Chain A
């Protein structure tokens, strides 16, 4: 087995500064040599740059940082040199009260697909997670999603939500007249009696797909705080 070692000096751009990670356990000649090599390559980019030196949580590295600071300023005309703040944190205590109210507006990373337009017969829209259609899904068209399907328009085609096994997924439409609904492994045929005059949604209840008036049922109103779907 080969012993893989990190390079003694690494450089990356962080914000408006250059973050230099230095392995302070190495002899200082080696460090100078590596830093010179890297900064030579930067050429004019180093001039007046902000440099942060990260010695990897070593408490006795202040002197090294000071020396490097002088070296970089004189040789490469960098602007400022800082020592990286210690990355030692107190362990996060899980907050049992749930997310802070001030954070609930933060949008976290999501794979939702939002499209606008009319999905016509023969066309299929697939989304890895949630799918939002600003427009109509015509008869003969298909929407497939790993999460929810929300149609802000008329749903008249086939909608398969929660594929393959997300039983919490819903299918919602402002005008709910689907040909067929699938959620996870459950299938239900569209009913011609579905009038679709109010926003409705389909979800799984007791191992079957149930369709309710969205505003009356308001399935998410009892949640304590907004959550990512």
Chain B
């Protein structure tokens, strides 16, 4: 059976698309699936660094499309996780060297090799975005609890619907304390505006920075809240769609919740 192609996109930059792609890719691979993560940000590649594979790049996605190498030659196997492969972006080309039809061709080949192909879409809605969504079966929209990010996510959702792709939402970098004090949008506010299915809530986690800088997979850090959230998201994408979504706001202990309930009555 053919695999799935999932594009991870957001519109706005810096919301965590690359982290989401790397983490979900790693989690799916640990669940025993064959996974490829593809860096679509031609000219500004990052995913290789986040995954700690930058020193192993020989060929890249542009080389595959231009026929300079085979798919298998460009796919870099992860150091720690079996079944996880990276197709890096080219750092020296511009985004318009790839056309949407090239991606359709590439993804049709990748579907035969991998159970999941995750495309790390560049920020913006220009050529890089168009290339990324051309061959996608599903889309994950990443959004942070900021008005600007929600606005851009909304735009991207509109564009995805126009291509008959029904996106799912990940809300990243939630700071429960700020939400509680009313300084940050709650996930309910965001879903109210975006009105698409939620696939996960990810709490702000300092370990993400450590993981990104050292190139170690976030989900291999046992006590990482974000890592755990990504692991559950991967399960939801792979056969457990009804796995309950944990709300970061609820993780404060039994007594606190009880006292909150009583204080509401006053």
Verify if A182 is at the interface (C-beta below 8 Å from B).
no
Chosen A-B contacts, 5 in total, with CB atoms closer than 8 Å, are A118-B195, A121-B154, A123-B158, A139-B193, A140-B154
Q: Which of A121, A123, A136 contacts B151 (CB 8 A)?
A: A121
B151 contacts which chain A residues (CB < 8 A)? 121, 139-140
Residues 91-119 of A, flagged 1 when their CB comes within 8 A of B and 0 if not, give 00000000000000000000000000010
A7 within 8 Å of B (CB atoms)? no
The contact of B155 among A118, A122, A136, A156, by CB within 8 Å, is: A122
Nearest Cβ on chain B to A14's Cβ, whole angstroms: 45
Known: A118-B195, A121-B152, A156-B193. A139 touches B147 (CB 8 A): yes
Against B, the Cβ 8 Å flags (1 = close, 0 = not) of A117-142 are: 01011110000000000001011110
* Alpha-carbon distance A141/B150, docked complex (angstroms): 13
Q: How far does the alpha carbon of A141 sit from the alpha carbon of B155 in the complex, in Å? A: 9
Q: Which residue of chain B has the shortest Cβ distance to A118 in the bound complex?
A: B195
Task: Please encode chain B, from 144 to 188, with 1 for each CB lying within 8 Å of some chain A CB and 0 for all others.
Answer: 000100111011011100000000000000000000000000000
Q: What's the tally of chain B residues with a CB closer than 8 Å to chain A?
A: 11
How distant is A165 from chain B, measured CB to nearest CB, in Å?
31
Give the shortest distance, in Å, between B196 (CB) and chain A (any CB).
10
Chain A residues, CB < 8 A from B157: 120
Residues of A contacting B152 with CB < 8 Å?
121
B195 A140 Cβ-Cβ under 8 A: no
Compute how far the CA of A156 lies from the CA of B195 in the bound complex, rounded to whole angstroms.
Answer: 14
Q: How large is the interface on A (under 10, 10 to 19, 20 to 34, 35 or more residues)?
A: 10 to 19
Chain B residue numbers with a CB within 8 Å of A123 are: 158
What is the distance, in angstroms, from B229's C-beta to the closest C-beta of chain A? Answer: 26
Contacts of A138 in B (CB 8 A): 154, 193
Number of A-B contacts (CB under 8 A): 29
Docked complex Cα distance between A140 and B155 (Å): 8
In the complex, A140 Cα to B159 Cα: how many Å?
14
Q: Which residues of A contact B158 (CB under 8 A)?
A: 120-123
Closest partner residue, chain A, to B150 (CB atom): A139
| Bound-complex Cα distance A66 to B199 (A) | 80
The CB with the most chain B CB atoms within 10 A, among A118, A123, A156, is that of: A118
Contact digits for B95-121, partner A, Cβ 8 Å, 1 yes 0 no: 000000000000000000000000000
CB–CB A121/B155 < 8 A? yes
- Candidate in A118, A120, A136, A156 with the most chain B CB atoms within 10 angstroms: A120
Question: Which residue from chain A places its CB closest to the CB of B195 in the assembled complex?
Answer: A118
| Alpha-carbon distance A139/B147, docked complex (angstroms) | 9
| Known contacts A120-B158, A139-B147, A139-B150, then 18 further A-B pairs from the complex at CB < 8 Å, ordered by chain A residue | A118-B195, A120-B154, A120-B157, A121-B151, A121-B155, A121-B158, A122-B154, A122-B155, A122-B158, A123-B158, A136-B195, A139-B154, A139-B193, A140-B151, A140-B154, A140-B155, A141-B154, A156-B193
Contacts of A120 in B (CB 8 A): 154-155, 157-158
A139's closest neighbor in chain B, by CB?
A: B151
Closest Cβ of chain A to B188, distance in Å, is 14
Residues on A with beta carbons closer than 8 Å to the beta carbon of B193: 136, 138-139, 156
Query: Which residues in A have their C-beta under 8 angstroms from that of B150?
Result: 139
Closest chain B residue to A123, Cβ basis = B158
Taking the closest CB of chain B, its distance from the CB of A135, in whole angstroms, is: 9
Point out the residues of chain A lying under 8 angstroms from B147, CB to CB.
139
The 7 nearest A-B residue pairs measured at CB: A120-B158, A121-B154, A121-B155, A122-B155, A120-B154, A140-B151, A121-B151
Residues of B within 8 A of A118 (CB): 195
Q: How far is the CA of A156 from the CA of B154 in the complex (A)?
A: 13
The interface bits of chain B over 123-142 (1 if a CB of A lies within 8 angstroms of the residue's CB, else 0) are: 00000000000000000000
Mask of B221-257 contacts with A, CB within 8 angstroms, 1/0? 0000000000000000000000000000000000000
Q: How far, in whole Å, are A141 and B157 apart by their CA atoms in the complex?
A: 13
Minimum C-beta distance from B197 to chain A (A):
14
Q: Using Cβ atoms and an 8 Å threshold, which residues of chain A touch B155?
A: 120-122, 140
Which residues 43-77 of A sit at the B interface, judged by CB distance below 8 A?
none
Contacts of A136 in B (CB 8 A): 193, 195
B195: which A residues are within 8 A, CB to CB? 118, 136
Question: Which of B157, B158, B159 has the most chain A CB atoms closer than 10 A to its own CB?
Answer: B158
